[in-house]
């Protein structure tokens, strides 16, 4: 009983202003790290062609690496989509996706918001050879774009009519 009384007294003597100041200092002093382009570990370049992902879901590992974890795919998304929130949504685990497919000479990964595919969807297109210069990312959001989609590359972002392509 005496121990409980001591703990209760210690809690009563706590200065609420001091703990609030400590939390504010910690929060305001935080600087998030800058997102950096991924580089394969020396000697560990991926020898599996991107075409091997066709027919697999984006989160499926092909030779131990999922589609979005491929260096060239990750770099293409960093280049085309500066908005980290959108990148995280695309690669998230709680999205609806279809198997990766070919779109001309590109490898495409299409996904959408669960139970809201018509209103919020996206497609990531990567050249078969992994050339990030050719990569494109399409994002469609009916709430902000109506019947159009935003297409982004490393060089520009344009608006085109319609949804993002899907298989």
Domain ranges of the chain: 49-167
How far is the C-alpha of 76 from the C-alpha of 136, rounded, in Å? Answer: 8
pLDDT tens for each residue of the chain, 167 residues long:
555 454 444 444 444 444 444 444 445 677 766 666 566 566 556 678 999 999 999 999 999 899 999 989 999 999 999 889 999 999 999 999 999 999 999 999 999 999 999 999 999 999 999 888 999 999 999 999 999 999 999 999 999 999 999 98
How far is the C-alpha of 128 from the C-alpha of 15, rounded, in Å? Answer: 62
pTM, 2 dp: 0.73
Nearest by Cα to 97 from 134, 67, 69, 74: 67
Nearest by Cα to 86 from 5, 6, 157: 157
Share of the chain above pLDDT 70, in %: 74
Query: Can you name the residues that pair with 157 across neighbouring β-strands?
Result: 152
How far is the C-alpha of 70 from the C-alpha of 17, rounded, in Å? Answer: 48
| CB neighbour burial string for 21-34, b if at least 16 within 10 angstroms, e if fewer | eeeeeeeeeeeeee
């Amino acid at each position: 009983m005496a121990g409980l009384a001591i703990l209760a007294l210690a809690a009563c003597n706590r200065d609420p202003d001091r703990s609030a100041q400590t939390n504010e200092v910690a929060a305001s002093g935080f600087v998030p790290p800058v997102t950096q382009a991924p580089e394969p570990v020396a000697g560990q370049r991926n020898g599996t062609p991107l075409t091997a992902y066709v027919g697999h879901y984006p989160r499926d590992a092909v030779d131990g690496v999922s589609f979005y974890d491929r260096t060239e795919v990750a770099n293409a998304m960093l280049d085309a989509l500066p908005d980290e929130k959108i990148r995280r949504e695309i690669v998230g685990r709680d999205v609806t996706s279809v198997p990766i497919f070919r779109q001309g000479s590109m490898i495409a990964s299409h996904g959408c918001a669960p139970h809201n595919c018509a209103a919020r969807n996206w497609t990531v297109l990567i050249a078969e050879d992994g050339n990030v210069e050719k990569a494109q990312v399409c994002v469609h959001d009916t709430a902000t774009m109506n019947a159009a989609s935003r297409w982004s590359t490393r060089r520009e972002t344009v608006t085109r009519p319609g949804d993002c392509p899907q298989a």
